[in-house]
Copies of this chain bind each other. A is one copy, B any other.
Amino acid sequence: MAVVVTNVERTPLALVDTLAGYGVATIHEAQGRTGLLSPRLRPIFRPVRVAGNALTCEVAPGDNWSIHVAVEQAQPGDILVVTPTSPCDDGYFGELLATSLVAHGVRGLIIDAGVRDVAELTSMGFPVWSKTISAQGTVKETVGNVQTPIVCAGVYIRPGDVIVADDDGVVVVARELAATVAEKSEAREKNEVDKRQRLASGELGLDIYDMRAKLEARGLRYVTAQP
């Protein structure tokens, strides 16, 4: 009863690549602190940063069959996003699947489960964010949906939404908001240049952000240490 949705519209790669210019923390802030996947997903090597269109895929616990189905749906610039239908730490993905994805222009993998062959994946420079590293193999008996909306690591993701991932984690940007979020991210970064200089010169955030009155209003008191 599983479904593969074909011909899914992607976010234009020019826009995806613009978003790749900003870190996950910046984008997460720029879109109102939404869209961040659980920090249990960690990159297998660092430093790393990548952006791409979500190619979504559900897998049964201990079963990676639908990943093979998903490869056929890949387009250059995609990032494969895999979520198990119930929690699983098995090693769903390794060097051979990565080789196949690279051949189809896929830029990386986000998986709320385990991966293996991490030495080889690191040598290939194929970026992966996963919950676990595990050599545990999987079967091919049950097939899940491909290119349908999913929840991965606590966040709702639709095929063709933009995924940005770096050392800090993984964030999703809704396709229709991608241009706006890119603009806001740019504005945020510009705004930080000045702040960074002021902070580097020793100026206090208390003054830059004008916090003293507000803190006093909240009842913050200063007392001198007793000798």
Contact = CB atoms under 8 A, between A and B. Distances in A.
Instruction: Kindly report how many copies of this chain are found in the complex they form together.
Output: 6
Given A96-B199, A117-B168, 11 more contacts: A3-B221, A4-B222, A6-B222, A9-B225, A29-B137, A33-B136, A69-B220, A86-B88, A87-B89, A143-B218, A156-B156
Nearest to A47: B119
A28 B137 contact: yes
Nearest to A159: B225
A199 B99 contact: yes
B104 A202 contact: yes
A21 interface: no
A78 interface: no
Contacts of A118: 46, 167-168
7 contacts: A23-B120, A100-B205, A134-B168, A135-B171, A141-B141, A143-B215, A154-B154
A132 interface: yes
A213 interface: no
